A and B are shown apart, each in its own frame.
Chain A
């Protein structure tokens, strides 16, 4: 089991550019979560999916953020246009119904300059 795989590990981009973060959940997991971690706000849940369907996106900060899950093995979080305040570590996690283990990926450290 390869765990939750996130890419890239680090991303540095200029303000105004589009950024796409990627996540491959653990096979067989039907829940996928996107979190953002900053010093000021801690770990925030941005959006989560169940069986590829977005269930709750109330944590998405604004329209510049969007997330998709086209199939059970892939999800993206896109920021367009990016701003310096989007700089954070973005985590993806997955879980399976009935199993209370949430497995996190290694995170993507995003820096917007």
Chain B
């Protein structure tokens, strides 16, 4: 069964610095995808970045990059040059090709300090 683990309940980062949010996963399906979503205090779920299990390169989207280490089953999110608006909950999620359902980790609350 697929499983997603986020071990950091909360993190602080200074504005303009980079921060890494950890995510580890477990699956027996060779074809899967990893997602990161942002949930600000307003409550909506905002898609940030996607990494497929067969992708050779780490995914990047603007200030977001995904540090994908397949052998270690980790998919950490790196946010560069943090902004005050980055303060939010961040969820790692995994999809398996065999089931197509998206399962979420417990989330990390990020607070950006001015």
Q: Does B54 lie at the interface of the complex (its beta carbon under 8 Å from any beta carbon of A)?
A: no
A107: chain B residues within 8 A (beta carbon): 43-45
Complex alpha-carbon distance, A65 and B90, angstroms: 28
| Interface SS of A by simple majority | strand
Stretch with Cβ within 8 A of A (4 or more), from B13-21, B62-70, B100-108: B100-108
Q: How many A-B pairs with Cβ below 8 Å?
A: 50
- Chain A residue total in the interface (Cβ 8 A): 23
* Known A-B contacts A42-B106, A43-B91, A89-B43; A100 and B33 likewise in contact (beta carbons under 8 Å): yes
CB <8 Å contact, B47 and A102: yes
Q: How far is the CB of B59 from chain A (nearest CB, A)?
A: 11
Given contacts A31-B100, A42-B107, contact A106 B35 (CB under 8 A): no
Q: Which residues of B contact A (CB under 8 A)?
A: 33, 35, 37, 43-45, 47, 50, 52, 91, 95, 99-107
Given contacts A55-B100, A55-B101, A100-B35, 18 further A-B contacts (CB under 8 A): A31-B100, A42-B105, A43-B104, A45-B101, A45-B104, A50-B100, A56-B101, A91-B45, A95-B100, A95-B102, A100-B33, A100-B50, A100-B95, A102-B47, A102-B102, A104-B44, A106-B44, A107-B43
